[in-house]
Structures are given as structure tokens and as C-alpha cells.
Structure 1
Amino acid sequence: MNFKIISILILFLLLISFAVSAQYMEVALVSDVGGFKDSSYNQQLRNSLNKVAENLNLKTDYRESDLMTEYQDNLNYFAENNFDLIWGVGSTMEQAVKEAAQMYPETNFVLFDGIVEEENVMSLTFKRKEEAFLAGVVAALASDNAKVSFIGGQKTEKIGHYQLGFETGVKSVNSEIEIISRYVGSFNDFSAAKEISAELAAENVDLIFYAAGPSSRGIIETALENNIKLISLDAADIDLAPNNMVTAVLKNTDHLVKMLIENYSNDNYINEIKEFGLADNAFVLEQDQLSDMLSSEKRTKIEEYKQQFLAGEIEIPSAP
């Protein structure tokens, strides 16, 4: 009799243990070649997943990619180990995520800031105009000379959205501010970016917002030489020019990761191409740097203009 009771108790405990372990959600993140110490989105996403894991029954694992050729193997590794949700980062991973999704149709993938049209992929994209709108508001409040600039890499539709949003943000604060928008012609031409930004410095531009890829290093060097203020889209740039960078406009990874993980846990998750904007709380300003560079009164103004945009009182044009 005692043996039977003990056997039943053991079986009961095993069932409970299995049920608890089955509740674990397994989430993986594969970095792009920037790695997890890039002070950018690889690192931010890893930190955001770790924060979510502290509050949910979540198991996380990570694989760092040193080469683009490693993307596929890293994604496949997690799929073969039956992870529930596998994240990739950026447009350079689009092909690898697409192939992994086709090879493992029962596995769910998330691509951050890229697009893959597969039924088992959630593509997180962003409304660049609205992201740049915040930069424009900050620029107008931070400029002393009432003369600011946007510098893009190549003149593409996506980069053009940054220009439109920035110009709208600036003019919504002060329609008298002069805006000079320029393009490098390449995302990898340091010399051309340095030359263009030097020309802007000679024209008394005192703040530059840029979306120019690696060419941005030329802009930053000019800013250091000419005491020009900067607004970036990459938190890593703050360390390159801490006395010049007003802030960086960032994707709100803490909020987005938490929302998607919770939606998945609650069976409220849909694989789709989803574009996130200000109404989704998708963007944040790097607050530590902003607090050093802008007064509390002006920081309050930023939120006021954001709320005006959300209320429909400010509109960003669809084209130049």
C-alpha cells in the first residue's frame, strides 16, 4: 500500500515538473556582424530580452555572428533545437531568415528592422518619418543659429523619409529656422561626408542630423573640429562625440520586445509585416545625453510636440 502511494506521488511530481518545464518559452537572438557589444541594436535587443526574462518564464539563448556567412547556421541551430521564437537583426539578415523560415515552417522567426515575406516571420519595420520628426523637434530646440542640416547617405526613398520627418519636426517648432538637406551619394564615403559637413559648417550650420551609415564618421569628425551639434540614429555614436551629440533617436526595444513576447505567451501573436511608429511608443530619445545637453523646459517641449503630432495637429507630408 505504501509502495503504491509513493509511486503515485512520484508520478504526480513528475507530471507537475513536466508541466512547469513545458511552460518555458524559449527565445533566441542571433546578432548581425556588429555583435553584442556594438552599443546598438544587437546589444539593446539582448538587454531587452534579458529584462523580459526576469519577469516571465522565459529561457533565452544567443549566438553572435562574426561573419555574414554565419547567419544561416546560427538561425538553423536554434530552429533545430525547437526554440519558440528566433530573432534576427537588420536587413543584412533578410535572406538568411527567409531561408531558415522556409526550412523550418513550424518555427516562428522575428526580424528586427527588416522585411521577410514568409508566413512564419514577424517583420518589425519602422516609420522613419516619425522617428526623424523627433530629431527635428530636438534640433529646433537645440540650435542657437537657427540654421540646421540633414545629411543622408544615398538619396533613396527610405532615407528621404528621414529628411521629410526631420524638416517637419524643425518647422513645427520654428518655421523661421533654415534647413539645408544634403546627400553624400554613398553610405561608405568618409571623405565626401567630411567635405559636405565642412561646407555646412562654413555656412554657419550649428546642428546636423544624419542618416549616412559608415560615412557618418566624416560628419562626426567635422563636428568635433567645428563645434557642431549632432543628432544620431545610433547610440554608439555618443561615445565618439559626447560633447557634440545632443541625443540619439532610438527604437524602443524594451517596449517592443516585451509586447511581442507577451503577445506570443497570450496567443495574441500574428506573424506579419508590422510598421511601428510614435503611436506604438516605438521610439525613444537617449535620455542621459539629452539631459546633459538640453534644459528640462526644452525636454518638456519635445513631449508637447510629440503629443501634437499624435493628436493630428502636425502632419508629415508624403513627398517633398
Structure 2
Amino acid sequence: MNFKLLVVLLVFFLFISFSVSAQYLEVALVSDVGGFGDKSYNDQLRKSLIKVSENSNLKLEFRESNLMTEYQSNINYFAENDFDLIWGVGFTMEQAIKEAAQMYPETNFVLFDGVVEEKNVMSMIFNKEEEAFLAGIVAALTSNSSKVAFVGGQDTRTMRLYQLGFKAGADTVNSGVEVISRYVGSFNDFSAAKEISSELINENVDLIFYAAGAASRGIIDTAIEEDIKLITLDSADISLAPNNIITAVLKNTDYLVKQLIENFGNDNYNSEIREYGLDDNAFILEQNQLSDMLDEEKIKRIEEYKQQFLAGEIELPSVP
């Protein structure tokens, strides 16, 4: 190849690469009432955005919401200041994001784990069955009694998805594992959650996977008192019961945030309602805790079952 032509092509590709990576974007995150420091999705998204900014030309700003009534003003602040992409967290922010999207139709919004049907909002939702499927695999590999349980806050469709996915994961490993499901009736009833978990232990359950909101503290307390194992959806719970919680099934925010920001910067961004699952690398297990609680052989088997699912060798049951 002609040397001069080679130099021209190299300069061209470097210019294109630099243009993409150097594109200046103003990105904001508004927390829900959990605030920053919640060791949950507000913190995870903030840390993930900061990681992306280390290798991108981003201006980042954050606003913390102490009350739900602050959502609208916090979101509107960034829209009025012409930020390119404004993130909100969770279903409690749906109405505020919807109103802001209507008021500022030229601004782009992202709602993490919630749905807003507006043309300038990307709604990131997650396949609950596949998330719980990972928990079921871990449970079946961990249980000594071959009797495990799922405890949900209220009997809703979302909780049923967790229940079905959890059972599917456990059945994949060992069809002889018995899976019991219970519902607290409230996401805030600590006493009822404590009572239900005690009843499950009396039935020889030695591991509980739970999605019960604030009521989960009753389950955690019982697990500590009775020395049983737990699987959570919230990494903040690990510090409450480090000797009982096997792992947390988490959204893979580092990967998802990086992907979305890059797509936005490269004009590949689509405002849509998008459901993420295992095929999208959307879920991870909290590895530090998992490594402390399980041996390498079991951790390897978890990954093998995940790969079988991704290869289409495992199918989850259809959800009514």
C-alpha cells in the first residue's frame, strides 16, 4: 500500500475515534428518596456514570431527592439547563419523568427500572424471571436440606415472576429440591416477615430468597437468629448479615450505563421501553460475597448453568 495513503487513512481513523470519544455530553442523575449512600441503585448508577466519565468527555451532575415532592424540581433543573441526558431511578419517579418529558420534548431522559411511555424517554426494565433464575441456581447448589423458599412482599405479577424464575433455577440444578413460596402481604410489615420466615424454618427450609422491601429486615433478623442462608436483590443487605447472605443478584449497571452512554454519543440511542435480560449481560452476582460463601467448584457450576441458558438449552416456563 502507498505509504502516503496509509498515513492519510491512519489520520482519518484517529480523527473519527477522537471525535466519538471526545464528544461532549452533559449527563445528570436524580436519586429517588433512598438518596446517595443507599448502597443500592442510586449509588450503583452514580458510580457507574463516574466510571464512564473517566474515559469519556462527560460533564456529570447529581441531585439527591430527600422527598418524593422534590423529584420534579430536581429533574426540571437539569432540563432547564439543557443537559443532554437525565437519569431517574425507579417506579416512584415515573410521574415526575413523564411530566418533565412532556414539558421538555427536546430533552432525553432515562428511567432505570420504571416505565414511562413518552417518545423522549428510555425506560430500562428487567426480566425478573431471569434475574431470579440465577438466585434459584445458587439456592439449589447451596441448600443442605433441599428445601428452599421465596418470600415476596405482596402477591403481585412482579413477585410471581420472581417466584417462577427462582423455582426454574432450582429445578434446573436439582428437580428434587422443594421450593416453597410465601407472601408477607406488605412491603413494610417487619413482624409478618419475621413470622413467615420462622414458619419456613420450622418446615426445614434452610435458604430464603426474598424480595420484600423494608419488611426484609424481619427475614434477615430471623436468618441471623436461626443461622440459615439468604439470597438478596440488594447489596446493602450484605453488611447486615455477612455470615448468612450467600450473594446478591444485581443489575449490571457498569456495563449497561457504559453501553447506553456510548450509544447516545454515537447516535445509536433509541428512546424506547427496553427489557434487559441475561442475553444483555444485565445481571451479575455480587462476587466478593459469593467467593467468601461458596467454593470455586460451585461458582463454576453457576456459570455453566448460565451459559446453558444463553445457549438455549434451558427454557423458563411461560408466565401467565
Shorter chain as denominator, the TM-score bin is over 0.9
Identity of aligned residues (%): 74
1:75-154 correspondence to structure 2 within 5 Å:
75-154=75-154
Q: Structure 2: how far apart are the matches of 1:161 and 1:312?
A: 20
Q: Structure 1: how far apart are the matches of 2:42 and 2:202?
A: 37
Q: Structure 1: how far apart are the matches of 2:92 and 2:318?
A: 27
Bigger Rg, structure 1 or 2: 1
82-91 or 210-219, larger mean C-alpha shift: 210-219
AA of the residue aligned to 2:237: D
Paired residue total: 301
Q: Structure 2: how far apart are the matches of 1:52 and 1:223?
A: 38
Displacement, 1:319?
A: 3.2
Q: Structure 1: how far apart are the matches of 2:139 and 2:47?
A: 29
Report if aligned partners of 2:140, 2:173 keep a CA contact under 8 Å in 1.
yes
Name the residue aligned to 1:224: 224
Report if aligned partners of 2:32, 2:88 keep a CA contact under 8 Å in 1.
yes
Q: Structure 1: how far apart are the matches of 2:274 and 2:309?
A: 20
CA deviations over 1:166-186 (Å, ceiling 9, x no partner): 000001001111111111111
Q: Structure 1: how far apart are the matches of 2:180 and 2:74?
A: 43
AA of the residue aligned to 2:301: K
Name the residue aligned to 1:15: none
AA of the residue aligned to 2:239: D
Q: Structure 2: how far apart are the matches of 1:259 and 1:104?
A: 24
Residue 203 of structure 1 pairs with residue 203 of structure 2: yes
AA of the residue aligned to 2:119: E
CA deviations over 1:83-133 (Å, ceiling 9, x no partner): 000000000000000000000000000000000000000000000000000
SS in 1 for 2:124: strand
TM superposition score normalised by structure 1: 0.92
CA deviations over 1:243-289 (Å, ceiling 9, x no partner): 00000000000000000000001000000000000000000000000
Q: Structure 2: how far apart are the matches of 1:298 and 1:159?
A: 27
Name the residue aligned to 1:241: 241
Name the residue aligned to 1:267: 267
Name the residue aligned to 2:159: 159
Residue 213 of structure 1 pairs with residue 213 of structure 2: yes
Q: Structure 2: how far apart are the matches of 1:172 and 1:317?
A: 12
Q: Structure 2: how far apart are the matches of 1:77 and 1:236?
A: 29
Displacement, 1:155?
A: 0.7
CA deviations over 1:174-223 (Å, ceiling 9, x no partner): 11111111111111111111111000111111100001111111111110
AA of the residue aligned to 1:284: I
Displacement, 1:45?
A: 0.2
Name the residue aligned to 1:255: 255
Runs of 4+ off more than 3 Å? none
1:165-176 correspondence to structure 2 within 5 Å:
165-176=165-176
Q: Structure 2: how far apart are the matches of 1:66 and 1:280?
A: 32
Report if aligned partners of 2:23, 2:265 keep a CA contact under 8 Å in 1.
no
Q: Structure 1: how far apart are the matches of 2:25 and 2:121?
A: 17
Q: Structure 2: how far apart are the matches of 1:247 and 1:173?
A: 17
AA of the residue aligned to 1:34: G
Displacement, 1:47?
A: 0.2
Name the residue aligned to 1:289: 289
Displacement, 1:23?
A: 3.4
In angstroms, what is the RMSD of aligned CA positions?
1.3
Gaps of 5+ in 1: 1-18
Name the residue aligned to 2:62: 62
